[in-house]
Amino acid sequence: MMSLAMATENENLKIVQVWHGGKFQKRLQEMGIYKDSQIKVIKNDIPGPLIVDVKGSRLIIGRGQAQKIMVEGE
């Protein structure tokens, strides 16, 4: 298990835990980021936000926010 911010590009991952609460957690859910969903990092250049693939759409997510999303390889 590691944070999304540590993940390598183009690896299929599964979300294990989302350490966000309240409205933002909801926003992530409705954009397809929630526990047990699949995710793939498309771009992970430090510093700066990440680009991820979720259900076929591309999302930009801030690095700080990605650090609070735990994933594991499939």
Partner 1 sequence: MDKIKIALAGNPNVGKSTLFNRWTGMRQHVGNWPGKTVEKKEGSFKYDQYGMEVIDLPGNYSLTAYSVEEVVSRDYIVGEKPDVIVNIIDAANLERNLYLTVQMMELGANLVLALNMNKFAREKGLKINKKQLSELLGVPVIEIEAVDDTGSEKLLQTIVKVSKSPNVVLDRLEYGNEVSEHTKQLEKIIDQDIPQLDAPSSWIALKLMEEDPEIIKKIEETGKGQRVLKEIKKIQRHFNDVFGDDADAAITDARYGFIAGLVSESVKKPKIDKVTRSDLIDRVVTHKYLGIPIFLLIMWLTFQITFTLGDPLGGYVEEAFAWLGETIAASMGEGFLTSFIVDGIIGGVGGVLVFVPLIFILFLILSILEDSGYLARAAFVMDRFMHKLVGLHGKSFIPMILGFGCAVPGIMATRTLENERDRLLTMLIVPFMSCSARLPVYALIVAAFFSAYQGWVIFSLYLLGIVVAIIVAAIFKKTIFKGMSAPFVMELPPYRLPTAKGALIHMWERGALFLKKAGTIILALSVVIWALSSLPVGVEYGSQESVTGQIGTVLSPIFAPLGFGEWQATVAIIYGFLAKEVVVSTFGTLYGIDGDGGGEEASDEEVSANETASVEQVSNEASGEQVSGETAVEEASAEEEETALEEDPGYIAVMQELFTPLSAYAYMVFVLLYIPCLATLAAIRRETNSWKWPAFAAVYTFVVAYVVSFVVYQGGLIMGFA
Least distance to partner 1, CB of residue 9, Å:
10
Instruction: State the binding string over 27-66 for partner 1 (x if CB under 8 A, else -).
Output: xxxxxxxxxxx----xx-x-xxx-x-xxxxxxxxxxxxx-
Residue 14 touches partner 1, criterion: CB under 8 A: no
Q: What would the DSSP string read from start to end of 24-62? A: HHHHHHHHT--TT-EEEEEE--SSS-EEEEETTEEEEE-
CB 23 within 8 A of CB 15: no
Residues in contact with partner 1 by CB under 8 A are 20, 23-24, 26-37, 42-43, 45, 47-49, 51, 53-65
